Amino acid sequence: MFRILKKSLKTGIVTGRHPEARPTVPPVASDAKATAKPFRRSLAIREVDTGSCNACEMEMNALMNPVYDAERFGLHVAASPRHADALVVTGPVTVNMERALKDVHKATPDPKLVIALGDCAIDCGLFKGSYAVTGPVERHVPVDVRISGCPPRPAEILAALAELRGRLDKPAR
């Protein structure tokens, strides 16, 4: 016990600044920025997995950990699409999830944003041509923002959301 306490005191804080995003310009259209205007200070996100391998979700989950701490930028995870401002969709749209995606989109109040996260959501990625896939997200619901990568890193997701809301690296006040 004493040995563990001594080790903890000697080790100190081991977390540091998160890695910088790659210098790619996130593909955020100007009309998406206009839709995002009411959400500059607070954006509630609902994640929808339409058939991903789960790696994109892992990166989304990492946004809320103490390293990235997305809540300081006013980003929150909503428990229901009825409380969400934006849908973050991951994975290609599988046959079984097509109806669910359309229902979730319908249940989300306007104005809303749809963010296609990862190559699969944008163009089916690795799963292109599979019999179980009915197409990318934009084939079923309108997409405002595309964040590419397989999977995109948390810093890249944060950078795209900050760009969308015109709040580059500004913690919420």
Residues near ligand SF4 (CB under 6 A) are 52-53, 55-56, 90-91, 118-120, 125-126, 150-151
Q: How far is the CB of 1 from ligand SF4 (least distance, A)?
A: 42
- Smallest distance, ligand SF4 to C-beta of residue 33, A: 24
Nearer to ligand SF4, 43 or 120 (CB): 120
In terms of CB distance, is 39 or 59 closer to ligand SF4? 59
CB of 120 to ligand SF4, least distance (A): 3
| Contact (Cβ atoms closer than 8 angstroms) between residue 89 and residue 125 | no
Cβ proximity to ligand SF4: between 132 and 150 the closer is 150
Q: Are strands 133-135 and 93-94 parallel, antiparallel or unpaired?
A: antiparallel
Residue at 126: amino acid letter: L
Select 90 or 94, whichever has its Cβ closest to ligand SF4.
90
Residue 98's CB: how many other CB atoms inside 10 A?
17
CB of 123 vs ligand SF4, minimal distance in Å: 10
Q: What gap in Å lies between CA 78 and CA 22, rounded to an integer?
A: 28
Pick 24 or 42: Cβ nearer ligand SF4: 24
The answer to whether 86 and 114 have CB atoms below 8 angstroms apart is: yes
> Parallel, antiparallel, or unpaired for β 113-117 and 43-49?
unpaired
Q: Smallest distance from the beta carbon of 34 to ligand SF4, in angstroms?
A: 28
**12-45: buried (b, 16+ CB within 10 Å) or exposed (e) per residue?**
eeeeeeeeebeeeebebeeebbebbeebeeebbb
